Amino acid sequence: MKRTFVAAAALALIIGCSQNTITGRNQLSLYNEADIQSMAASEYTQFLSQNKVVASTANKDAEMVRRVGQRLTSAINSYYASKGLSQELEGYKWEYNLVDSKEVNAWCMPGGKIVVYTGLLPITQNEAALAVVMGHEIAHALAKHGNERMSQATVQQLGGVALSVAIANKTPEAQNLFMSAYGVGSQVGALLPFSRKQELEADHYGLIFAAMAGYDPQQAIPLWERMAAAGNGQKPPEILSTHPAEATRIDKLRELMPEALKYYKPIGK
């Protein structure tokens, strides 16, 4: 039995590795992107139906989330087009929603399904910092980190067997794995943490996208300082359950800043 599991896992690792077109890194991607986007659309609709969505037509914060999302989307489309990779965004139907919740959280599912929680806004404090967070979350989705985390967890749990069947049929096991991988609430059990490499990639491209959208990427430094302070002496923000607050993070952000600033053109200039 053990040999069968090891063999299945090894086979999954061999056939499931692919190179991400943006990061250039080889990563384990056992799930079909079209199937994941289909599940994302379904789970996103269900999530919105079960939570209080703040209408952008009557709320300045919801309008801000929509505005930041649209500017980031435009920047991302331009970035991918400049790399000759526009086809990578096929199937993306962007949505940006603000949800009334005290949780300090935000996430982006494959296909551009984004949610920001109202509990995050007292920490972001301004539009540029919100753009940094949303750019970071979008970068996780574009870098297919959720697929990678799901794939790694599946190899550990199932040996990489019957993957496409599980996701295509939207089995409860696949749904729980999906929600855990994308950080959609703690009710699904233990959330799958991002690796340091995934976090650095999300920081890197998130800063670039925010800068291209006209937002000052330097707002990332005080943002993450506020985020870390919010977790001192109490339960850390939900977003930090999947985004580890490392002592070296701000130093890494400072290292990335010169490149991000090359893309920065303030809105209206």
Dihedral Cα 123, 125, 129, 131, nearest 10 deg: 100
Supply the pLDDT for residue 249. 80
Mean pLDDT for each consecutive 10-residue tract of the chain (269 residues)? 41 55 77 84 93 89 97 96 92 95 92 96 97 95 83 62 55 66 54 72 95 97 87 56 63 94 87
Q: In what order do the strands lie in the sheet with 113-117?
A: 53-54, 95-99, 113-117, 106-109
Supply the pLDDT for residue 28. 76
Q: Tell me if 206 sits within 8 A of 250, measured CB to CB.
A: no
Residue extents of the structural domains in the chain: 32-262
- Say which of 43, 95, 127, 137 is annotated catalytic: 137
C-alpha closest to that of 113 among 87, 140, 131, 88: 140
Supply the pLDDT for residue 193. 62
What is the C-alpha separation between 217 and 192, in angstroms, rounded? Answer: 27
Supply the pLDDT for residue 222. 93
Q: Tell me if 64 sits within 8 A of 72, measured CB to CB.
A: no
Supply the pLDDT for residue 13. 42
Supply the pLDDT for residue 120. 96
Position 10, amino acid: A
Told to judge if 43 belongs to the known catalytic residues of this protein, a careful annotator would answer: no
Q: Tell me if 167 sits within 8 A of 36, measured CB to CB.
A: yes
